[in-house]
Amino acid sequence: MNLTIENILLVGSILLFISIIVGKTSYKFGVPTLLLFLVIGMLAGSDGIVGIKFDDPKLAQFIGVVSLNFILFSGGLDTNWNTVKPILKEGIVLSTIGVLLTAVTIGTFVFYITDFTIYESMLLGSIVSSTDAAAVFSILRSKNLALKNNLRPTLELESGSNDPMAYVLTLAFLTLVINQDQSIFSIIPMFIQQMALGAIAGFGFGKLSKYIINKIKLDFEGLYPVLVIALMFITFSATDFVGGNGFLAIYICAVYLGNQDLIHKKTILKMYDGLAWLMQIVLFLTLGLLVFPSKIIPVFGLGILISLFLIIVARPVSVFLSLLFFKMKFRRRFYISWVGLRGAVPIVFATYPLLAGIDKADMMFNIVFFISVSSVIIQGTTLSVMAKWLNVALPNEEKKLSATDLLMEDNPKALIKEIPVTANCYAVNKKIVDLGFPKHAIIAMIRRDNKYVTPNGSTVIEDKDILVVLADKQEAIDNVKSCLNK
């Protein structure tokens, strides 16, 4: 079947519908949802049952980059700074030094077992060097896996922030493969530029985005998520235009915004959660369509060998060496090394050699695809089992809702307090978003002139308002009173 303007929406919507329905029941059988999206794409592709002819790496790369923007941005918005701060150093080391060690270890192994040149080997190692944010986020959250000692935020921080490093390494070694006469030291300035400009731009665009979101007055609440999408793409493309790492920029921008008071923040977060899932499905379906299973069979032996080396040797070595100077129990280090899931990101990065037209690009792509699939199968299906075996999982009775979950789910144990606003209150004539409201409490409703108003960040507090405040503990109520009367 050839995709045309007339049938692309029909075929695409059917595949999307099938993916959602199949994904709904997948975890009953212990199969990661993302793997099923890939399989559905492959079954619909040229070698599959439907026979859709799709062989356009450039379009697949474009879809991949757009999808990664949404996935990384959504992951950044969901990152709680107070939770991440205690493990920030570990996360940064894993997402930089850990990725580099993984790339070098795999590259060295590939060099000795294949006829790849050293630069081609390092390129392959770089492509599969990062853990996949989409895979880690979706599997950890859908399994509702509670882990001890800040282990989960460590894993989510690493997976959300290590793609930029892998991207830079991929571009660097691709440059060396194309320009054989260049020295490996020639890529160092590019690396420093990409990471430094990406970090600076991410923080700068984060502050600018917060200002724009809170100061602009849009007539419809539904336009605010659209505004954030525009700001996200501006952050990515502008950073890339000046030579910085766009992926790093949007992640830092999103982490900053996610921990600020924003107008209609709840609406923005819900919108991005849905968009992230949509982009994950579209991305995996597209990559499934791009793959020819008949071409993967010849590299099966080599693929399984590299995949097992990555899971058993390269990933554990990189994790243990990266965390060498941190106080951490052995079983915790081992579990971090086991959650080294490879997913769609390496497959997207593998399209860069294809578009560059280098030798062995097709072979690299097929090996990378096999590594990603085998990683999700082997590691993704055993996360809960390994957590229990290593004793890093919290028992069911010890799992606790976060303050945010407590508030959003209307837990009956939450405290509800009516707080009157007087004329001399600091909050009078100020927007809620400008009050610096405590994180563990929300204004659920405002009683004004015997009517109830549903507030949002742009709502202005008036004299004689009665605020219906929902909080998880008395301390939060006290903080609210202090905030209103400071």
Query: What pLDDT sits at residue 182?
Result: 76
How many Å apart are CA 359 and CA 353, to the nearest integer?
9
CB 16 within 8 A of CB 285: yes
Q: How much is the pTM?
A: 0.76
How many Å apart are CA 73 and CA 255, to the nearest integer?
8
How long a stretch of residues is the chain?
486
How many Å apart are CA 351 and CA 365, to the nearest integer?
7
pLDDT digits (tens, 9 = 90+) for 32-84: 666 777 777 777 776 667 667 777 788 888 988 898 899 889 888 888 787 78
Burial bucket for residue 427 (CB in 10 Å: 0-12, 13-18, 19+): buried
Query: What pLDDT sits at residue 218?
Result: 84
CB 442 within 8 A of CB 469: yes
DSSP collapsed to 3 states, the chain? CECCCCCHHHHHHHHHHHHHHHHHHHHHHCCCHHHHHHHHHHHHCCCCCCCCECCCHHHHHHHHHHHHHHHHHHHHHCCCHHHHHHHHHHHHHHHHHHHHHHHHHHHHHHHHHCCCCHHHHHHHHHHCCCCCHHHHHHHHHHCCCCECCCHHHHHHHHHHHCHHHHHHHHHHHHHHHHCCCCCHHHHHHHHHHHHHHHHHHHHHHHHHHHHHHHHCCCCCCCHHHHHHHHHHHHHHHHHHHCCCCHHHHHHHHHHHHHCCCCCCHHHHHHHHHHHHHHHHHHHHHHHHHHCCHHHHHHHHHHHHHHHHHHHHHHHHHHHHHHCCCCCCCHHHHHHHHHCCCCCHHHHHHCHHHHHHCCCCHHHHHHHHHHHHHHHHHHCHHHHHHHHHHCCCECCHHHCCCCHHHHHHCCCCCCEEEEEECCCCCCCCCCEHHHCCCCCCEEEEEEEECCEEECCCCCCECCCCCEEEEEECCHHHHHHHHHHHCC
Please name each of the domains of the chain with its CATH number: 8-395 (1.20.1530.20), 403-484 (3.30.70.1450)
Range 357-365, long-range pairs (CB < 8 A, 24+ positions): 358/120, 358/174, 358/177, 358/178, 359/120, 360/116, 360/120, 362/295, 363/299, 364/120, 364/123, 364/124, 364/127
Kindly give the confidence (pLDDT) of every residue in the chain, 486 residues in length, as a single tens digit, with 9 standing for 90 and above: 555 556 667 777 777 787 777 666 554 444 566 677 777 777 777 666 766 777 778 888 898 889 889 988 988 888 878 778 888 888 889 999 999 999 999 999 999 999 899 999 999 999 999 887 766 766 666 666 667 777 878 887 888 788 888 988 999 899 989 987 777 777 788 888 888 999 999 999 999 999 999 888 888 888 889 999 999 999 999 999 998 989 889 999 999 998 888 888 888 888 888 888 888 888 888 888 887 777 788 888 898 999 999 999 999 999 999 988 888 888 889 988 998 888 778 888 988 998 888 888 889 988 988 888 888 888 877 887 888 888 887 765 454 444 444 444 444 445 677 888 888 888 888 888 777 777 677 788 888 887 788 887 778 888 888 888 877 677 777 777 777 776
